[in-house]
Chains A and B, each alone.
Chain A
């Protein structure tokens, strides 16, 4: 059975209508994307595991059972556990739009204490031109660089 929902964008107060099947698909897709994204972040395995558990509990096709069109906010969906209909995750009131994945990811990152900007990147494949020869040094140039760095350390009060 398909249920129709009216979703209110809190920023613009505009409403959009979705049916439950569409929304469930979108939530499943979004969660898969978030999980895929977060799986590439540098955070502890236990957090990833707990996050994975949370995601596995999210509804695949289980919006609140309503026959009629109903006004909802996203917390109804995103904190919804398939089995228990509860979650320890705080409400998603700040994230009213389903297409704001970037914001939701930022929220997840803050929630999981992932440093913003610390995205995982595959190690760059570098052929180091100095690997065999050793870096190319001209003594006076190297000495000037060293002295600049020492002055900079003094400026910032770095002792070592």
Chain B
């Protein structure tokens, strides 16, 4: 079977989303204005239910996850770094080391989908802005209700298969006690001969 896309880097979102799609419920379809009970206001959402369940309509429900603006995650990351609000908006400077850390951390962890909770959705102009799927905010609806919502787009393979898989990984994660800083430092010091100038 031919791979649906070449397994190389993608330049922009146009390769990730289907250009043509019908109005039917689909795995990894993105809809506008779902109202999640815990939020209480309309938000975009993505379908987590696998296509086999959707086709069989058994059970007659589908599960969706909330899509949140990318800024919410980024700003909370800045907040967790103890930046002031003036620093967050660029009114006051931050140290070059801090900027370097934040940039690397946000790109490597969040945009490259190496956090459990969030999954990056790149912007599709006129359809969806840069966003994250938040696997923490999930709700189940009756399939019959889908007609009430506007379908915005659908992810292409293999990105669409990745969504339920990543959701499963989030649900199945297990928290274990952290190693102490000292023990990690000792491991590093034992293997490293690195020196600074």
Partner of A42, one of B73, B96, B109: B96
**In the complex, what distance in Å separates the CA atom of A139 from the CA atom of B88?**
19
Question: Does any Cβ of B come within 8 Å of A1's Cβ?
Answer: no
Instruction: Say whether B34 faces chain A, with CB atoms less than 8 Å apart.
Output: no
Residue of A with least CB distance to B40: A140
Q: Which residues of chain A come closer than 8 Å to B137, judged between CB atoms?
A: 139
Given A128-B105, A137-B73, verify A158-B117 contact (CB < 8 Å): no
Q: Give the size range of A's interface with the partner.
A: 20 to 34
Write the nearest CB–CB distance from A44 to chain B, whole angstroms: 14
- For chain B, the count of residues having a C-beta within 8 Å of the partner chain is 40
What's the nearest-Cβ distance from chain B to residue A123, in Å?
Answer: 6
Residues in chain B within 8 A of chain A (CB atoms): 38-39, 43, 66, 68-69, 71-73, 75-77, 79-80, 85-86, 88-91, 95-97, 101, 105, 109-110, 114-118, 134, 136-137, 173, 178, 181, 184-185
Main secondary structure of the interface of A (DSSP, over half): loop
**Chain A contacts of B178 at CB under 8 A?**
127
Nearest CB to that of B197 among chain A residues? A39
Contact indicator A131/B68 (Cβ below 8 Å): no
In the assembled complex, the Cα of A140 lies from the Cα of B72 at a distance in Å of: 10
A98 at the interface (CB under 8 A from B): no
> Is A125 in contact with B181, judged by CB distance below 8 angstroms?
yes
